[in-house]
Amino acid sequence: MSSADDADLSVRVAKMQSDVQHIQSDVSDIKTDLRALNQRTDSGFRELSQRTDTGLRELSQRTDTGLRETNQRIDSLTAAFNETRVDLIDRGEAIRVDLINRGEAIRADLIARIDGVAAKGEGMRIGLTEKIDGVHLDLSKKIDGVDLKLTKNIDAAKIWAVLLYAAQSGALLYVMARGFKWL
């Protein structure tokens, strides 16, 4: 080998050593960056996990509070409905007894008048009986209307409660899907 080939070979070896040193330096920098990234990822995951747990607890507490309030409202509406229903039944019974008493009094009066005026009395008895029946029908319709309105209100409250249960379930599933990184 000539000295020119030796010089060329030593230049090449020196260049390769320089390139290897640059690669080693770059690999060290990459390792340092990777460690820092791992630390940030771990701390970010811990923070995200804490936030998710906190959010889930808060959502669960809010949902439980909302359900408790809804149940209380339904219970109060049910109690009010039952009180109103009992009151209406009592009033209806009182009206029925009053109507019966009045009807009996009217009937006795009619019988006395019928005895006095037979032909005219029969027409009057029929007319009065129809009026009593009309009043009874009118009162029955009013009582049924109030009962129907209260039943509809309770049915609407039940539907609302079921929708709240479904919304809570959906929110919980959404939070779980986010936590499991399905979404």
> pLDDT tens digits, residue range 101-145?
888 888 888 788 877 776 665 667 788 888 888 888 888 888 788
SS3 180: coil
Q: Output the pTM of the full model.
A: 0.32
Tell me, what's the pLDDT at 175? 94
For the residues 154-166, what does the mean pLDDT come to?
Answer: 90
Cα separation, 78 vs 93, in Å, equals: 22
Nearest to 155 by CA among 77, 63, 44, 38: 77
For the chain, where are the E strands, in sequence order?
none
- Asked if pLDDT for residue 1 goes beyond 80, the answer is no
